[in-house]
Chain A
Amino acid sequence: DTGVSQDPRHKITKRGQNVTFRCDPISEHNRLYWYRQTLGQGPEFLTYFQNEAQLEKSRLLSDRFSAERPKGSFSTLEIQRTEQGDSAMYLCASTAGRTDTQYFGPGTRLTVL
């Protein structure tokens, strides 16, 4: 257990539905990241926050995706109008300090039927 938690761990939804995932980082970590991983591939960067500010968004993050980190604590990732291509593991990581070691949560596995 790295100290980063994600909820839910699994989500099955029908195409067109909206889903929201939550990430709780390690409490003193000011930077939080979202990645997406499809089967057989390494994780791909989606977005990251320093405190409550979203500093970078990947081109993978279409306008159906939105992420927030109110008050610089937990973060949510919402996907609107889900598509089958959104099926993946969504990973959250957090870090702090000069070494920038990223600690990953267990992930949320999304299946879109």
Chain B
Amino acid sequence: KQEVTQIPAALSVPEGENLVLNCSFTDSAIYNLQWFRQDPGKGLTSLLLIQSSQREQTSGRLNASLDKSSGRSTLYIAASQPGDSATYLCAPLRGAGGTSYGKLTFGQGTILTVHP
């Protein structure tokens, strides 16, 4: 059974700092891994998706890396802004041999607060 751990559980930083969110997972048989953002009381917004064959994916100020063999992913946020304040969730998608098996398994998330 896949288990996902996110560290730290909460993070408070001043505006402008670069920061790293960590995600570890126990089963390396994954098809891809998604990072999501969730604002309070809202649904999930997909930020980045990394295929199992990729090492890195970038979008604007966000960079996600994946080390499938060690079961780790990181999300790097550059030059943080107050608007980045949200909960960040990572979720590997189960799969093997080029086939996905449907379900995402989520960590508990990292609550990020960026203060002006």
Contacts and interface: CB of A to CB of B under 8 A. Distances in A.
Contacts, number: 64
B32 A107 contact: no
A40 B107 CA distance: 11
Interface of A: 2, 4, 31, 33, 35, 40-45, 48, 55-56, 58, 91, 93, 99-107, 109
A55 B102 contact: yes
B66 interface: no
B34 interface: yes
Contacts of A106: 42-43
Contact of B43 (A40, A99, A100, A107): A107
Interface in B3-45: 4, 31-32, 34, 36, 41-45
A100 B41 contact: no
B45 to A, nearest CB: 7
B103 A56 contact: yes
A43 B44 contact: yes
Nearest to A107: B43
A97 B51 CA distance: 13
Nearest to A103: B46
